[in-house]
Structure 1
Amino acid sequence: MENVLVVGATGTTGRKVVNLLKSSPYFVPIAMVRKESQIQEFSEQDIQTVLGDLEKDISHTLDKIHKVVFAAGSGGRKVVEVDQEGAKKMIDASKNNKIKKFVMLSSMGADHPEKATELKGYLEAKHNADEYLKTSNIRYTIIRPGALTNDKGTGKIMIGKPLNKRGSISREDVAQVLTRTLYDDALSQDCFEIVSGNELIGKALDSLTNS
């Protein structure tokens, strides 16, 4: 069993990742929370937590951690402090702790933020964090979904690097992709885009691995 730190565990997508990992025979989720008041929600489900604030020192959060899922976001309020610098801080700490894999939840459009007509600051922050991860020498996977929805997951996606297609995708399906890329034999040193589609998630990931 590998311990997986879920950064952004109190967010909508992060919670789904935690729940998926909880039912996995291979991974143990460790939910990173910012406030003590958030611990109870997870402890009631018998899920371990660690206190950590991305705007402060977070080096202690990676004790006995094997892999990281970074699904944190400031909701547009502190894109530089959290989405960019917070991610960099976690990447540095992961490198120092010899983390085996870092799975980054990014965003479609982060490859060319200068072309954005909206959310430009957010996409720039995600772009900078992604590029920092690519040069970190950590084993990584960067996932760039289209617009996130709260629709029920279909278990099917469209995938590409790049996809050259806009679209949306449910948070449930994104959480499935995030957890599946934690496996050692899943896509590594790779960055791809996803939206809702007609191909089963596992098959779509395999097709990208073999392409």
Structure 2
Amino acid sequence: MQQTAIKLTNAVSQLPRDVINISTMGSFRADIPVDYIGHRNLINALEKYSHSRFLLVTSLGCGDSWKYLSERAKQGFGSAVREKSLAEAWLKSSSLNFTILRPGGLLDGAMTNNGELSQEVEVHGVITRAEVARLTHKLLESSSVGEIYQCVDPTATD
């Protein structure tokens, strides 16, 4: 694990300092979860090499939205959500200019232009990965530093 962190730090050292860093890293079907420790190592490396802009994509149910997850969801993927919540906490306590995006259930498919960003309200639903990418771009073009958003597409069905 330590060698992986060293390789990551070396890779980050090669990036231009003004690059915008985005992570969608997750542990779905992985033998070794990276939701927390992978992000912790990445955040530490970005801080070490004075990178400042970071957008972290996690999941509905992370952080203060845990209370909105159903018991079934908590049992099904609560462990990953807890790991992602730890990553969010590590990021929020870092020196990076961060934005956090918490999408609903991810679907394959095209952009719909119907995805909605919201803050500090209970939301449930799904969204295509392409639509998450569109909303990520929108957030990076706005003054979203220090903000946490969630996103779903009310027109999408799973």
Match of 1:194 in 2: 151
The answer to whether the 8 A contact 2:117-2:135 is kept is no
Taking the aligned partners of 1:120 and 1:164, their CA distance within structure 2 comes to 17
Give the secondary structure class of the aligned counterpart of 2:5.
coil
Taking the aligned partners of 1:55 and 1:86, their CA distance within structure 2 comes to 9
Match of 2:5 in 1: 56
Q: Which amino acid aligns with 1:70?
A: S
The structure where strand makes up a greater share of residues is: 1
Aligned length: 144
Instruction: Please give the TM-score of this superposition, normalised by the length of structure 1.
Output: 0.62
Match of 1:107 in 2: 59
Identity across the alignment (%): 20
Taking the aligned partners of 2:61 and 2:132, their CA distance within structure 1 comes to 16
Alignment CA distance shift 1:108-1:153 (3 Å): same
Alignment CA distance shift 1:103-1:79 (3 Å): farther
- Aligned-pair CA distance for 1:191: 0.6
Alignment CA distance shift 1:87-1:182 (3 Å): same
Give the structure, 1 or 2, with the largest relative contact order (CA under 8 Å, sep 6 or more).
2
Match of 2:87 in 1: 129
Q: Which runs of 5+ in 2 are unaligned?
A: none
Query: Over residues 132-164 of structure 1, what are the superposed CA-to-partner deviations in whole Å (9 max), with x where a residue is unaligned?
Result: 100102100000000000122111222222331
- Aligned-pair CA distance for 1:78: 4.5
Give the secondary structure class of the aligned counterpart of 2:50.
coil
Query: Over residues 28-59 of structure 1, what are the superposed CA-to-partner deviations in whole Å (9 max), with x where a residue is unaligned?
Result: xxxxxxxxxxxxxxxxxxxxxxxxxx943211
Taking the aligned partners of 2:135 and 2:143, their CA distance within structure 1 comes to 10
- Aligned-pair CA distance for 1:182: 2.7
Alignment CA distance shift 1:188-1:74 (3 Å): same
- Aligned-pair CA distance for 1:113: 4.3
Give the secondary structure class of the aligned counterpart of 1:104.
strand
Give the secondary structure class of the aligned counterpart of 1:144.
strand
Alignment CA distance shift 1:177-1:160 (3 Å): same
Residue pairs, 1:174-189, within 5 angstroms: 174-183=132-141, 185-189=142-146
Q: 1:150 aligns with which of 103, 108, 112?
A: 108
Instruction: Please give the TM-score of this superposition, normalised by the length of structure 2.
Output: 0.81
Q: Which runs of 5+ in 1 are unaligned?
A: 1-53, 199-211
Alignment CA distance shift 1:147-1:88 (3 Å): same
Q: Which amino acid aligns with 1:110?
A: C
The answer to whether the 8 A contact 2:36-2:83 is kept is yes
Residue pairs, 1:23-62, within 5 angstroms: 55-57=4-6, 58-62=8-12
Computed over aligned residues only, the root mean square deviation of the Cα atoms, in angstroms, reads 2.3
Match of 2:28 in 1: 75
Taking the aligned partners of 2:78 and 2:29, their CA distance within structure 1 comes to 10
